[in-house]
A and B are shown apart, each in its own frame.
Chain A
């Protein structure tokens, strides 16, 4: 009835029977997860929010709400993964020369969940959320091409994240790292449910990402407003397009790899086993055929955000727009030609390594082009060093540093000495933290006022920036040194006392990063409390240049009263310059928006049930879950009335109210950008 599931699987029972420090920490983490879930249920019940949550959010097909839900999901997962990171550093410091608090198996689970969450359930949802919110607005569209598919993508991603969270309480997670290398993850070496949790969580997330990529690419190709040629798109849309194309092509190898691994584990196939003709090299190839483009899936959207930030907060048009577009495309294409540099040491010939090494270094060229163009954008600009710009400038310096270590690693002869060491760990954190996380935090700072109608508190933003940046440098610079001293990654304890001071500094850094997360939470809390003085109802707090600033904050469900027409890049800047930004359109028509649908939540629940069931071999539940998910899709195809009509009168009234509010608003100069006078109407050219 319950497959392989028994009482022993529950973390609290394990801690009761074996009250070691490691199990108690596990139980505490499980307790936190349960408490958090219960607290959410209680709060929703006490404030009677279930119905608004259901009809306003979970069943909504509005790209803006789906985007926000993605971001909320990613921030929850970020919190867990950062705590895990700090815990690992604490353990390693305590464990120098003696046993630390965590068992090696528990430590291995921690680095596996940390990596899996950070890539699949923090980074991916965060960038997908930002893209979801911003891109349709930037191209002057009312929604994405396939709104229901968009909700289903979120449902699949959330289901994967839920599986990782469930593994905190029921059973154990994989100990095979985020990359889940066979043959270690084969049944012969990793019995039990851990790897299965990983397989299904990652598979669900990769399916969701494939569908997101498809949706975004089609939206950009087919839903641009009249006059918005590809080369008039904001750069963020270009990076979104490249990321989407990478998602369409690169997620399939991951799905293939996880399915093959699952067949090996569940049905005794021999794709990656040591015996019977299995070949783990195939796994390495398939995984990194996904894994390397994935790096650019993660980084390109942040490049887009930085491009918008540098232009907006320097008050200038982006320098070298076309070159930036070509550089982005080059990176997207080259990203498929370098996957082998993840396993230079696995025995292929030196010539093959050389080819991939050179290809890897080549990526530095378009990236270098970008760095110079961002610098040139700032030259002679009127730069405002507010939170997003602080992150952007820090990114430039930090990312170049990480890129240089990447060039070192791209050389196979050097890679042989530092492969799999903490030097590598330092390198990829040095790329992804500035190249993804800082960019996305900057994006939240920039677009939060658009989404919610009030700015984020600047003081807490700067405090968070200090924590993040200082934390990053303290946490990861020591790892370069440790790596060169010979410390290998994923090691739970070392006997060498000289590692101690470096690990102590790294722990301090991790704690500061945790402080950065705290500041982000405080910033949100304080901003919500002071939302009246931070309000920017007119919708253009930063003197924005692109179309998303041409509507109120928050934008109405339909985004634009009439679909805008553009004749150049920086469309909104031109509209403001020509005095056409705030007019009453005379051709307002009835429009249709997608009506709510319960299909996505049903698929989410069905996917969690199926994933959990196959992890624990509860076959009846797996069949039931699959039937429910596909049944919902088929049932939906019999619903023809999927649109909701919004009359022109409603649009006109809403637009008039906005213009009325605008007329009562005093324009604010750039100097007053962060003080309460900023109601979202930028004084032009000031």
Chain B
């Protein structure tokens, strides 16, 4: 089980860094398992949202009242865009396109992610001040905020992680440890996209249709 024979789900360093490829096997697999557990957490939050959004409105705002499809679309584009730029960063890592290009893609990812989080905070501000829909108002709103905020917190944590890795790229250069961390952060970042697609669909699109 060495060199390019093994293939991991996710980015494979393969031929360009055989040693790193081998070292990735255990840590990247471990991270997949962690993501699985994290996905269970989100599944629970989605299930809670599903019950609370129908049975827990308590005469307060309904899902439709919170939907601003334009805003949700902008957030979606920001986050999916950041996934694309992270993908470019991963390719820069794999094909050794140099530190500058890698860091540039990462910086772009960071900016898109940060704008996304800012946009979400703005959404929350609008919901609370204009729609009179704070989480304390009803069970539905509690579930709504917990689901979106858990995702938002994950993105924010990803941003912190990205910043730390950026410092490490400057500090250590592209050593194996840093590479492996970037690969795991990439998985984390893409998973958050998948979760967001769930939120976009069930919270916003479905909310608008209902």
Q: Which A residues have a C-beta under 8 Å from some C-beta of B?
A: 145-146, 210, 213-215, 217-218, 221-223, 248-249, 251-253, 255-256, 259-260, 263-264, 267-271, 273, 275-279, 282, 286, 289, 634, 637-638, 640
Contact = CB atoms under 8 A, between A and B. Distances in A.
Contacts of A263: 135, 142, 146
Contact of A249 (B37, B58, B143, B181): B37
Contacts of A251: 37
A222 B40 CA distance: 23
Nearest to A633: B164
- Top 10 nearest A-B pairs (CB, nearest first) are A277-B139, A277-B56, A277-B58, A269-B142, A252-B40, A268-B136, A277-B138, A252-B41, A256-B44, A270-B139
Contact of A260 (B38, B51, B146): B146
Interface string B96-133: 00000000000000000000000000000000000000
Interface stretch (B79-87, B168-176, B192-200): B168-176
Given A218-B33, A637-B168, 20 more contacts: A145-B26, A146-B30, A210-B37, A218-B26, A255-B41, A264-B142, A269-B146, A270-B56, A270-B136, A271-B48, A271-B143, A277-B52, A277-B55, A277-B57, A277-B140, A279-B55, A282-B51, A286-B48, A289-B44, A638-B168
B48 A222 contact: no
A277 B60 contact: yes
Contacts of B56: 270, 277-279
A214 B37 contact: yes
Nearest to A290: B44
Contact of B181 (A215, A218, A637): A637
Interface in B1-60: 25-27, 29-30, 33-34, 36-38, 40-41, 44-45, 48, 51-52, 55-58, 60
Contacts of A638: 168, 171
Given A218-B29, A637-B168, A253 B143 contact: no
17 contacts: A214-B30, A214-B34, A215-B30, A218-B29, A222-B26, A252-B37, A256-B45, A260-B146, A267-B135, A269-B136, A271-B52, A271-B139, A276-B139, A277-B52, A279-B55, A282-B48, A638-B168
Nearest to B149: A263
Given A214-B30, A277-B55, A267 B37 contact: no
Contacts of A215: 30
Nearest to A639: B177
B154 interface: no
- Most chain A CB within a 10 A radius of its CB, from B27, B38, B48, B58: B48
B94 interface: no
B137 interface: yes
B135 A145 contact: no
A260 B48 contact: yes
Given A222-B25, A271-B142, A253 B44 contact: yes
B159 to A, nearest CB: 13
Contacts of B171: 638
A278 B60 CA distance: 13
B61 to A, nearest CB: 11
Nearest to B181: A637
Nearest to A256: B44
Contacts, number: 112
A617 to B, nearest CB: 18
Contacts of A264: 142
B interface majority secondary structure = helix
Nearest to B43: A252
Contact of A253 (B40, B142, B181): B40
- Most chain B CB within a 10 A radius of its CB, from A218, A267, A270, A278: A270
Interface residues of B, number: 40
A640 B172 CA distance: 9
A359 to B, nearest CB: 19
Contacts of B30: 145-146, 214-215, 218
Contacts of A146: 27, 30
Contacts of A637: 164, 168, 181
A215 B164 CA distance: 24
Given A279-B51, A640-B172, A256 B41 contact: yes
A449 to B, nearest CB: 31
Contacts of A218: 26, 29-30, 33
A270 to B, nearest CB: 4
Contact of A270 (B27, B38, B41, B58): B58
B48 A256 contact: yes
Contacts of A279: 51-52, 55-56, 139
A222 B44 CA distance: 29
B58 A640 contact: no
A338 B44 CA distance: 17
Contacts of A217: 33
A161 B60 CA distance: 41
Contacts of B25: 222
Nearest to A145: B26
Contacts of B136: 267-270, 276
A510 B5 CA distance: 59
Nearest to A248: B37
A350 B116 CA distance: 47
B178 to A, nearest CB: 9
B139 to A, nearest CB: 3
Nearest to A247: B37
A205 to B, nearest CB: 15
A640 B175 contact: yes
A145 B29 CA distance: 10
B138 to A, nearest CB: 4
Contact of A214 (B33, B60, B172): B33
A583 to B, nearest CB: 26
Nearest to B171: A638
Contacts of A221: 29
- Most chain B CB within a 10 A radius of its CB, from A259, A277, A279: A277
A274 to B, nearest CB: 11
Contacts of B55: 277, 279
A286 B58 contact: no
Nearest to B36: A248
Nearest to B42: A252
A251 to B, nearest CB: 7
A270 B146 CA distance: 11
A248 B33 contact: yes
A255 B41 CA distance: 8
B62 to A, nearest CB: 11
Nearest to B137: A276
B47 to A, nearest CB: 9
Contacts of B145: 269
A259 B142 CA distance: 12
B203 to A, nearest CB: 17
Contacts of B51: 279, 282
B110 to A, nearest CB: 17
B144 to A, nearest CB: 11
Contacts of A276: 58, 60, 136-139
A635 to B, nearest CB: 10
A217 B57 CA distance: 41
B105 to A, nearest CB: 21
